[in-house]
Amino acid sequence: MKTLFIDKEIKYNGEQLSPHWIYKTFNIMGDAIVAFIGECDVNLTHMVDIEDVINNEPIYSKKMLNFIEENFNSSLIEMVYKQRLLVTITKEVIEKNYPSVKISRNGDDLFVNGKKLSVSIATKSITSTLIHFGLNIVADGAPVKASDLTIDVGVDDIKTFAERILQAYKDEISDINFAVSKVRGVV
């Protein structure tokens, strides 16, 4: 699993959740996860979550920490498992580094003080499976009761925070791959 924090702002509009976006944009081929900061504005045209489309619930954040992952040998259900793993690792990073924060997880969503901190979706393309996971840096203007990393969690260095998540996730995936390869089959 390759990881990269991108040091330039990128507006996330849903088009980035497409096959080979990481490779075409950052020349990283294969399974990878990247993180970047930028406005998040996903209208219903680019919405992957059909429930959000039916409920007419577009996604917006003035500033969000976004993660995009692409895998080429995972089924959609495996990618949903990885999505939940990424969300859980993020919760653990917050709990370890900001112990006074009251954070909870419900499925693939994180909440701080009962307000939504994250958005997330896993999907399948013709060649791969993909995840978008976003954490509000600024909650103002969100279409729901939202919390954010800066005020509600207390993160002052978003890049370091993102790199902690990327490293913990990479280590966990590596450890899972090791666990799979060290066992012998039974008959």
Amino acid at 153: V
Q: What is the pLDDT at residue 141?
A: 81
Please name the residue that has the structure tokens 């393309």.
125
Helix (H) or strand (E) holding 41: strand 32-42
Compute the average pLDDT of residues 76-98: 98
Please say if the pLDDT value at position 45 is more than 90.
no
Q: What is the pLDDT at residue 57?
A: 66
How far is residue 117's CA from residue 131's CA, in Å, rounded to a whole number? Answer: 17
Please say if the pLDDT value at position 109 is more than 90.
yes
How far is residue 161's CA from residue 163's CA, in Å, rounded to a whole number? Answer: 6
- Do residues 67 and 21 make contact, with C-beta atoms less than 8 angstroms apart? no
Please say if the pLDDT value at position 54 is more than 70.
no
- Do residues 11 and 174 make contact, with C-beta atoms less than 8 angstroms apart? no
| Mean pLDDT score of the chain | 93
Exposed, middle or buried by CB within 10 Å (0-12, 13-18, 19+), for 98? Answer: middle
pLDDT band at 170 (very low <50, low <70, confident <90, very high): very high
How far is residue 142's CA from residue 63's CA, in Å, rounded to a whole number? Answer: 10
Between CA 16 and CA 90, with CA 118 as vertex, the angle to 5 degrees is 95
What is 2-181's CATH superfamily? Bira Bifunctional Protein; Domain 2 (3.30.930.10)
**pTM (predicted TM-score):** 0.94
**What angle do helix axes 76-97 and 158-181 make, rounded to 10 degrees?**
130
Compute the average pLDDT of residues 161-175: 98
Exposed, middle or buried by CB within 10 Å (0-12, 13-18, 19+), for 48? Answer: middle
Q: Which two tokens stand for residue 149?
A: 């990393």
Cβ-based neighbour number of residue 186 at 10 Å:
4
